């Protein structure tokens, strides 16, 4: 079935998930929405995040998507259950896949979760991890400065490196062997995060595991695309079209991406 897969995030972070989907299922068309104008979602009350997430989801449903991926941990924590119950198409989030990848990787059963204030406060990773492994301990850490850094495309320089070092300081006395990037923006900071944690810690992101879940679901529902040739992906942003275009070009390697402006207010 050649209907697109809908992918949404508060901003550019969900592109890390879209990238894995495009890699794993090259015949699938992706329609993406980044709500850059209202990013970050992390510090917002959950009721507001839920409202925004529903607006994005309904926009994607109007585009005829066959599957919705909430490629944002904060939005997953706030709205996954209500979307799964009421949206009328399959919906998957990023928290269960990330938790599963971390439980698989951890030998010591001590798992750090880096996330937004909202995701950390929700306890969603603790629930997901304890349902998979009751003996695993979770050490959560909110990293509120990371998302603005990635959104402003400042995630590669020395400033970013020292901000990551400073943010992760509270973990220096903890003993753990696995860390989840519990925000889809954080894979962009992964080199600096790994530099701090060293080689004894496995850093997992939910992007690959989420893409695998999406593929399994589409296979099971007999909804995989059967086109020949490359699909044309579409990217909506509520923010700046030129900035979003540069990010899509850089991160996804698409030369002339189709970027469209949308708004919800
Ligand atoms: N990418 C979102 C997440 O995974 C970022 C949240 C935000 O906008 O603060 O949580």
For 166-216, write each residue's pLDDT tens digit: 999 999 999 999 999 999 999 999 999 999 999 999 999 989 999 999 999
Pick the more confident residue, 264 or 21. 21
Kindly tell me if the per-residue pLDDT of 23 is higher than 80: yes
Q: How far apart are CA 168 and CA 165, in angstroms?
A: 5
Annotation says 39 is catalytic: no
What is the whole-number distance in angstroms between the Cα of residue 185 and the centre of ligand 1?
6
Q: How far apart are CA 73 and CA 47, in angstroms?
A: 15
Kindly tell me if the per-residue pLDDT of 228 is higher than 90: no
Q: What is the pLDDT at residue 236?
A: 98
Those residues with Cβ within 8 angstroms of residue 194's Cβ, 6 or more apart along the chain or in another chain: 201, 203
Cα 169 to Cα 18, 143, 175, 254: the distances in Å are: 31, 11, 13, 37
Residue 265 pLDDT grade (very low, low, confident, very high; cuts 50, 70, 90): low
Q: How far apart are CA 235 and CA 243, in angstroms?
A: 12
Kindly tell me if the per-residue pLDDT of 92 is higher than 70: yes
**Sheet containing strand 202-205, strands side by side:** 137-142, 110-115, 178-182, 202-205
- Here the tokens at position 32 are 């993406």
Q: Which of 183, 189, 193, 252 is catalytic?
A: 183
Please state, rounded to an integer, the average pLDDT across all residues of the chain.
Answer: 96
Tokens 């020292």 found at: 162
Structural domains present in the chain: 5-93+208-261 (3.40.50.1860), 95-206 (3.40.50.1860)
What is the whole-number distance in angstroms between the Cα of residue 148 and the centre of ligand 1?
10
Q: Is the dihedral of CA 99, 14, 90, 84 positive or negative?
A: positive
* pTM score, whole prediction: 0.94
Q: Quote the percentage of the chain above a pLDDT of 90.
A: 96
Of 81, 73, 23, 45, nearest in space to 253 by CA: 23
Kindly tell me if the per-residue pLDDT of 108 is higher than 70: yes
The average pLDDT across 231-248 equals: 96
Q: Find the residues whose C-beta lies inside 6 A of ligand 1.
A: 9-11, 13, 39-42, 72-74, 116, 119, 147, 183-185
The average pLDDT across 89-115 equals: 96
CA–CA–CA angle 53, 243, 247 (5° rounding): 80
For 46-75, write each residue's pLDDT tens digit: 999 999 999 999 999 999 999 999 999 999
Residue 84 pLDDT grade (very low, low, confident, very high; cuts 50, 70, 90): very high
Q: What is the pLDDT at residue 121?
A: 96
Q: What is the pLDDT at residue 230?
A: 87
Other Cβ atoms less than 10 A from the Cβ of 178: the count is: 23
For residues 183 and 143, the answer to whether their CB atoms sit within 8 Å is yes
What's the distance, CA 136 to chain centroid?
A: 23
Q: What is the pLDDT at residue 136?
A: 96
For 119-172, write each residue's pLDDT tens digit: 999 999 999 999 999 999 999 999 999 999 999 999 999 999 999 999 999 999
What is the whole-number distance in angstroms between the Cα of residue 40 and the centre of ligand 1?
6
């Amino acid at each position: 079935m050649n209907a697109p897969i809908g992918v949404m995030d508060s901003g550019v972070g969900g592109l890390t998930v879209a990238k894995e989907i495009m890699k794993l299922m090259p015949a699938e068309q992706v329609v993406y929405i980044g709500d850059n104008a209202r990013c970050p979602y992390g510090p917002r009350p959950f009721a507001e995040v839920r409202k925004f997430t529903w607006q994005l989801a309904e926009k994607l449903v109007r585009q005829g998507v066959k599957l919705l991926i909430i490629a944002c941990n904060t939005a997953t924590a706030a709205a996954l259950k209500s979307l799964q119950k009421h949206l009328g198409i399959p919906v998957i989030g990023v928290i269960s896949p990330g938790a599963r990848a971390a439980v698989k990787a951890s030998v010591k059963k001590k798992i750090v979760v880096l996330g937004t204030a909202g995701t950390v406060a929700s306890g969603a990773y603790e629930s997901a991890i304890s349902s998979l492994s009751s003996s695993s301990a979770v050490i959560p850490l909110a990293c509120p400065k990371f998302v603005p850094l990635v959104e402003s495309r400042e995630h590669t320089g020395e400033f970013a490196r020292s901000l990551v070092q400073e943010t992760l300081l509270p973990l220096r006395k903890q003993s753990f062997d696995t860390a989840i990037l519990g925000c889809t923006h954080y894979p962009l900071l992964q080199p600096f995060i790994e530099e701090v944690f060293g080689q004894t810690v496995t850093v997992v992101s939910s992007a690959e595991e989420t893409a695998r879940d999406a593929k399994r679901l589409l296979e099971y529902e007999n909804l995989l695309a059967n086109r020949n040739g490359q699909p044309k992906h579409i990217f909506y942003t509520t923010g700046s079209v030129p900035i979003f275009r540069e990010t899509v070009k850089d991160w996804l390697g698409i030369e002339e991406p189709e970027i469209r402006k949308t708004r919800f207010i």
